[in-house]
Amino acid sequence: MATGKRRFEDSLTGATSTACKKCHDNDDDEIFTSFPVKLIRQIAKHLETLCCESDYVFKTLKILNCNGADYNGGIPFAKAYCSVTPGTRTLYFGSVFVHGIKMLTAFLKNRQVPTDLPRKRLLRKLLFFLSDEGTHLLLKDLEKFHETELMMVLANHLYGKLTSSSKYMIDKNSTKETDHCPCNSESCRLSGQFADTGIGNEEVWHGNLDIIVDNDMVGLSYPSGNKEEILGGNEAKIRHVDLSRNQQIISQTIVFSFLQKQRHPDSNNFLFPCIGAAHEGMVVYFYDSQKDILLESSFIPFMSVEGKVNVHAILASWFAVNYKYLSSGIPCSKSHDDKSAFLSHVKEKLGIYEHNLKFGNLGVPVSFEDDESDLEVEQSDFLSETRWELLELGSMPDGHSEQYCLLDKEM
């Protein structure tokens, strides 16, 4: 497999890359006939590893406890608490992308091109991306970017390049608005725009996603809870961010799934993703708000052990950001308890998740004040008597409180 990866990366240079760039510039379908057989064979190997082997899987997660329905009010994503444990089911990565695997395999085997325009466009995007060395080599040098810069670069040079639309939204509160990509290329401009990326409801989990890819289809997040910047000289080193079982991303994934179901009730399935990304790689989370199933993928590094761009990361990104066309939903199970138990943990506020989530225009978090008229407190004779004594002391004239003043002086 290592040799195959090396040959594949080597084949991306030279005449092949130049020819495919020319195809891309012409913006026609020549890529489907001119795509080299050598690359087809190598992609087939990587696709088999990503989708059909145990190196990359989805695991179900079960929620033990969470603050998604906190009585005291809504919780921002950065402070979300969600204790989880592995569920009983493990799926191959390709299990939820059957439609996409069939489409890509048909092309790799017989150069069969989808007849409908959206899927045809997605396939063309993937082939151009894999064929153009300059398009994805930027993934080799992600460590130099700070948090916000990283998300913008990934959206502009990876996720946005693989979707049917290159448009995306950047959290307008994250950084100063600009049309220039942080990749340091003077001619590179952002294909996305700064906007309100807030999702949720002030009474439950809520907050802003770093990036929303393809306008409203996929959430992209760099979790804030486990990172720390260390300033030294002119550089800032960022410690490793743990994407596995990340509470912030889990809460964002669940809210995003409920929101998407609310906005797209006619979807074929309700398995919606949120991608957690860091400098080293990515994790894909899925939540199905109808079946109450939460999935977490294996960690997918952006670089291979040979120091090459990891093609598995490119393929996984293509599947995830285009889930609308490539996902087949969660395969049926007769013997496993797949449910995450989120619905039972938030049953008192489930109606908010199902019907009252917002996309943008989130206000100040709501906190619920106690209604003293309905509040029942256990009576205590001791506290009742002491309370009146304290009230009397508090209202006593200054002359009668001299002894207490002396006590204060002694203390």
Q: What would the mean pLDDT of 363-391 be, rounded to a whole number?
A: 43
Q: What is the mean pLDDT of the chain?
A: 81
**Residue 187: predicted pLDDT:** 87
Q: Is the pLDDT of residue 133 over 80?
A: no
Least Cα distance to 126 among 18, 257, 217, 24 occurs for 24
Domains: count for the chain: 2
pLDDT tens string 42-84: 999 999 999 999 999 999 999 999 999 999 899 999 999 999 9
**Residue 363: predicted pLDDT:** 63
Instruction: Please check whether residues 385 and 260 belong to one and the same domain.
Output: no
- Spatial neighbors of 266 by CB under 8 A, at least 6 apart, are none
Instruction: Please check whether residues 300 and 386 belong to one and the same domain.
Output: no
- Domain assignment present for 57: yes
User: Which is more confident, 353 or 17?
Assistant: 353
Calculate helix-pair angle for 117-131, 15-26, nearest 10 degrees: 150
Looking at residue 155, what DSSP letter applies? I
Residue 361: pLDDT band (50, 70, 90) is confident
Residue 28: pLDDT band (50, 70, 90) is low
- CB-based contact 281:313 (threshold 8 Å): yes
- Domain assignment present for 366: no
- Domain assignment present for 18: yes
Backbone angles phi, psi at 111, to 5 degrees: 55, 35
How far CA 159 is from CA of 154, 166, 372, in Å, comes to: 6, 8, 52
Specify burial of residue 316 (Cβ count, 10 A radius: 0-12, 13-18, 19+).
buried
3-state DSSP helix/strand/coil % of the chain, to nearest 5: 45, 20, 35
Instruction: Please check whether residues 344 and 385 belong to one and the same domain.
Output: no
- Domain assignment present for 93: yes
- Domain assignment present for 364: no
Q: Is the pLDDT of residue 233 over 60?
A: no
Q: Is the pLDDT of residue 148 over 60?
A: yes
User: Which is more confident, 333 or 20?
Assistant: 333
Specify burial of residue 267 (Cβ count, 10 A radius: 0-12, 13-18, 19+).
middle
If DSSP states are collapsed to H, E and C, what string results for 1-47? CHHHHHHHHHCCCCHHHHHHHHHHHHCCCHHHHHCCHHHHHHHHHHH
Instruction: Please check whether residues 314 and 398 belong to one and the same domain.
Output: no
Instruction: Please check whether residues 184 and 118 belong to one and the same domain.
Output: yes
- Spatial neighbors of 282 by CB under 8 A, at least 6 apart, are 243, 275, 276, 299, 300, 302, 313, 316, 317
Angle at 55 (CA atoms; ends 54, 58), nearest 5 degrees: 70
Q: Is the pLDDT of residue 217 over 80?
A: no
Instruction: Please check whether residues 406 and 267 belong to one and the same domain.
Output: no
Distance of CA 195 to the CA centre of its chain: 17
- Spatial neighbors of 92 by CB under 8 A, at least 6 apart, are 51, 52, 53, 54, 56, 57, 58
Q: Is the pLDDT of residue 288 over 80?
A: yes
pTM of the model: 0.79
- Domain assignment present for 367: no
Instruction: Please check whether residues 234 and 311 belong to one and the same domain.
Output: yes
**Residue 107: predicted pLDDT:** 95
- Domain assignment present for 191: yes
Question: What is the span of the domain harbouring residue 388?
Answer: 381-410
Residue 336: pLDDT band (50, 70, 90) is low
**Residue 395: predicted pLDDT:** 54
Residue that is written with structure tokens 């087949």 in the block: 328
- Domain assignment present for 365: no
Pairing relation of β-strands 211-213 and 205-208?
unpaired
Instruction: Please check whether residues 232 and 90 belong to one and the same domain.
Output: yes
User: Lowest mean pLDDT: which of 287-296, 311-320, 400-409?
Assistant: 400-409
d(CA 20, CA 383) in angstroms, rounded, equals 82
pLDDT tens string 155-178: 999 999 999 888 899 999 888 899
